[in-house]
Amino acid sequence: MSERFGGSFTQQEPIPEAGIAAALAVMRHGRLHRYNTVAGEVAETALLEEEFAAYVGAKYCLALASGGAAMACALRALQVKPGEPVLSNAFTLAPVPGAIASLGARPVFVEVTADLTIDLGHLEAQAVATGAKVLLLSHMRGHVGDMEALMALCDRLGLRVIEDCAHTMGAKWKGVASGRHGAIGCYSTQTYKHMNSGEGGLLVTDDAELAARAVLLSGSYMLFARHRAAPGTEVFEALKLEVPNVSSRMDNLRAAILRPQIGMLDDRRARWRRLYQGMERGLAGVPGVSLIPRPQAEDYVGSSFQFLLPGWEPTRVASFVAGAAARGVELKWFGAADPQGFTSRYAHWQYAAPEVLPATDRVLAGLIDMRLPLTFGLEEVGQIARILGEEVAVAASARDLAPVAAPLAD
């Protein structure tokens, strides 16, 4: 009888005891709103912002209700107007174009390459064709492209860059923290991300005006002086009557849960890396499977794992995914005709009126994605890899087809 995996792909580690204790303290005093403090008290949210800014090396940080709220706030801080084009890589998740559409702006998608990063040639073409001035760059599933080349191109094109770091909190490119290359970096603390508060977001920048706009947008009620990782009150004075309140603050309860997790990020990155590399070893050389190369300059967080099935027709991929599921291995397929659960792709977002992107379609047609929670160990990863290797062979033999191992063209 074939072995079956019995682990859960959605079970996260527990909140650290220090976070539980801090959350209980907040619940006992009842001051959950970030501006509800007593004399001499610093809000948990203000402390979280200060500590996260220090971790990534940013001047300013703002805690928000979600990662999507952080991206929408960043776009508003850059004064993106309704109808304006905003560029974004086509391989991303729905909250990214959703943030653009929430302003009435127009998502314009850019092709991605077989290494799952944005195609710089198509980025330039789309920027020139649309006149876009903002790029909302998604480091989708933790894959960081050549940030030096990207920023040089964006500087030449006059593009302001917002980095969506929902999958790269704690990652680095040549020693620079993800989120620190563009004008603004946005992060998520949703349960399946690298710090867990159920929902939550963080925004960082070194630009004083952008930071002040973001704080006002989040709903500071003229209490901006209570922020610690924020510019001086003189910056707010020039803006406070101009910027609308779009309430999207984080509360003290979630901030209390998150603060102890900042100090755990580097260890978590190392642990995720071991699991990711275990998957690489387990699938290396499996006929029909193409792994995603990771550049030496990329200090990545491998909290999920992707591989390609290049040249596979949809029925064959669907059979493989179903076979893995029957054996307890939950996979996401970005080439499916219809969105399922957390998995959708650019062609599904009809509100964005997306144009066809053939290179991206070739990549997504065979792209398989899988969570790697830290509740797994190397033994579990080894078992998963064995099951996947066997199911690849089953899917191939069922149609009397030899697995295709040729690399996918960009």
Domains of the chain as residue ranges with CATH: 17-262 (3.40.640.10), 265-397 (3.90.1150.10)
Q: What is the mean pLDDT of residues 314-321?
A: 95
What order of strands is seen across the sheet that includes strand 172-173?
176-177, 172-173, 298-299
Percent of the chain beyond pLDDT 90? 94
Give residue 2's pLDDT band: very low, low, confident or very high (50, 70, 90): confident
100-124 pLDDT, tens digit per residue, is: 999 999 999 999 999 999 999 999 9
Q: What is the mean pLDDT of residues 52-61?
A: 98
**Residue 399 pLDDT more than 90?**
no
Q: What is the mean pLDDT of residues 201-215?
A: 98
pLDDT of residue 60: 98
Structure tokens at 25: 């303290």
**Residue 1 pLDDT more than 70?**
no
**Residue 327 pLDDT more than 70?**
yes
Determine how many CB atoms are found less than 10 A away from the CB of residue 2: 11
Give residue 403's pLDDT band: very low, low, confident or very high (50, 70, 90): very low
Q: What is the mean pLDDT of residues 280-291?
A: 97
Q: Across the chain, what does the average pLDDT equal?
A: 95
Give residue 130's pLDDT band: very low, low, confident or very high (50, 70, 90): very high
pLDDT of residue 400: 47
Number of H helices, E strands in the chain: 13, 14
Give residue 329's pLDDT band: very low, low, confident or very high (50, 70, 90): very high
Tell which wins on pLDDT, 341 or 394.
Answer: 394
pLDDT of residue 410: 38
Buried b (16+ CB within 10 A) or exposed e, 332-369: bbbbbeeeeeebbbbbebeebebeebebbebbbbbbbb
Contacts of residue 296, defined as CB under 8 A and 6 or more positions apart, other chains included, come to: none
pLDDT of residue 178: 98
Give residue 343's pLDDT band: very low, low, confident or very high (50, 70, 90): confident
**Residue 139 pLDDT more than 90?**
yes
**Of 27-36, 345-354, 396-405, which range is least confident?**
396-405
**Residue 405 pLDDT more than 60?**
no
Structure tokens at 68: 């999507």
State the DSSP H helix or E strand holding residue 129, giving kind and residue range, or none if neither: helix 120-130
pLDDT of residue 337: 86
pLDDT of residue 340: 82
Contact 333, 345 (CB under 8 A): no
pLDDT of residue 341: 78
Q: Report pTM.
A: 0.95
CA atoms 314, 320, 325, 329: torsion sign: negative
**Residue 402 pLDDT more than 90?**
no
